[in-house]
Structure 1
């Protein structure tokens, strides 16, 4: 009976010690967790090489680790990665996350950078849940870079390499190779022909140089002629133009004087046309009548002599039968 009581006592003591050890462990976990902060990262790409416990680096400095990886159920194309970092790491607005490979081991880490001095720390609203904090912790935005960028662009790169290979295969087909060989042969012939005509080409180039020099001399002479023409215009033509302008001005003044004289004589001309011209017409009419009368007198004198002007003409004698 006494031995049984000892076993019960020992068992009770062991259970109490285990319970105290568990409580102490939980207390240490809570104490250590108070110096760390958790964040969520939603990667729209494969997270190969990232596992629970993978390191988290801020600007290359180890700062925490990955605590959870899971698919984001509302949108399965995203992978949610929960990280825990030291509280003294400056996770500010503008901080971004990428996946970087570590050496050639196939292991990857989450890299953080982009914090700007003076920016506000990433935090959730007071209620703890929002569009930016769907799981109650702040969300760090992502950017493509490193392994993620390579993995995302790998299919496009492979497609372009395949297309380039196909085009190179078509370019290097038997028919194209024959064409290229013909082109090279024609090029060699052309080179040989140019080499044979080297002296002629040299002579042509020499003549071209001479022609260019002559053209330069002609251009210089044309410039001198233009300068001479400008001098002649300045010394001879301009004085003549000045005299011509004076003559035109004098003629204009004479025309103005003539217009003034005509204006002054216009009343006399009007009186001449209204009075003198009718009188002259009447005088001409009277002269015409006088001329007709004198013609009749002369005709009478010619017929009957001067006596016909005094008396009436003599009647012929009448003789009875």
Structure 2
């Protein structure tokens, strides 16, 4: 009985010691991870190879581990991955998360990268925890990369390859092959014709080069002529313009003097037009009458001589029959 009692006592002491050791280990784990930070990541892709306890790295440096993986019930196309990282890891705004494979073992890890120097840390804004932090911890945005991006784009890539294959098949049909063969034959004939015309083409190119050179020389000469013309205009036209301005000034002064003279002569001109002009008209009328009388006298002298001016004209003699 005493031996059995000793065994029970020893067993009880061992159990107590093991329980204390386990509690001490848990206490140490909590103490070491008490300053760790938790973040949620919502991946819109498969998270193959990521499990609880999978490593988390920041720019390739081990920084934490995955603590939970679950579907996001409000939107099942997202997978929520919760990670715990060390307190000294700079999870700043601009940091993104991707899934990267580790070697060829099929195991993957969560990789963090892209922190911007001087940016504030990612945190839940006050009063909006239900929108931007649905589970009470900050959310790190995702970025497709590596194997995940390739796998996600694989269906579109296969569809494009299939479409390209179909179009190539249509392009290389028998009719199109004949057309391509005709195009190649025509191209060959054109090449042969160009080869035969090679010397003529070379001569044409040489003449074109000479013409371009002459055009350049002509353009240079035109530029020099324009510069000379500008100099002539600057030297000759300016004095001529000055003389012309002086002549215009003198003409203006003459016009002003003429206007003044006309103004002074205007009373005399009015008197001349009112008095002298009518008298001149009467004088002309009298002269016209005198001229007619003199003409009549001259005609009488021509007919009857000078006696016709002092006596009457003789009647013709009458003879009885």
The alignment partner of 2:142 has SS state of coil
Q: State the 1:137 CA deviation.
A: 2.5
Name the structure 2 match of 1:319: none
Q: How large is the Cα RMSD of the aligned pairs?
A: 4.4
Q: State the 1:209 CA deviation.
A: 4.6
- Unaligned 5+ runs, structure 2: 313-321
How many residues are paired up?
Answer: 308
**Residues 51 and 66 in structure 1, CA contact (< 8 A), matched pair in contact too:** yes
Q: State the 1:114 CA deviation.
A: 2.6
Name the structure 2 match of 1:60: 60
Q: Deviations over 1:168-197 (max 9, x none)?
A: 222222222222222222222222222223
**Residues 93 and 119 in structure 1, CA contact (< 8 A), matched pair in contact too:** yes
Counterpart-to-counterpart distance in 1, 2:308 and 2:295: 14
Counterpart-to-counterpart distance in 1, 2:292 and 2:128: 146
Q: Deviations over 1:291-319 (max 9, x none)?
A: 899999999xx9998589xxxxxxxxxxx
Q: State the 1:129 CA deviation.
A: 5.1
TM-score normalised by structure 2 residue count: 0.73
The alignment partner of 2:138 has SS state of coil
Q: After the TM superposition, which of the residue ranges 225-234 and 201-210 deviates more from structure 2? A: 225-234
Give the direction of change, closer, same or farther, for the CA distance of 1:218–1:142 in structure 2 (3 Å limit): closer
Give the direction of change, closer, same or farther, for the CA distance of 1:15–1:129 in structure 2 (3 Å limit): farther
Counterpart-to-counterpart distance in 2, 1:304 and 1:61: 162
The alignment partner of 1:50 has SS state of coil
Name the structure 1 match of 2:184: 184
Name the structure 2 match of 1:315: none
Q: State the 1:249 CA deviation.
A: 5.9
Name the structure 1 match of 2:170: 170
**Residues 63 and 85 in structure 1, CA contact (< 8 A), matched pair in contact too:** yes
Name the structure 2 match of 1:91: 91
Q: Does 1:274 align with 2:259?
A: no
Counterpart-to-counterpart distance in 1, 2:234 and 2:16: 126
Give the direction of change, closer, same or farther, for the CA distance of 1:215–1:6 in structure 2 (3 Å limit): closer
TM-score normalised by structure 1 residue count: 0.73
How does 1:1-321 map onto structure 2 within 5 Å?
13=13, 16-17=16-17, 19-124=19-124, 130-209=130-209, 211-212=211-212, 253-283=253-283, 306=310
Counterpart-to-counterpart distance in 2, 1:29 and 1:237: 103
Q: Deviations over 1:53-75 (max 9, x none)?
A: 21110110111111211001111
The alignment partner of 2:63 has SS state of strand
Give the direction of change, closer, same or farther, for the CA distance of 1:62–1:182 in structure 2 (3 Å limit): same
Counterpart-to-counterpart distance in 2, 1:9 and 1:73: 52
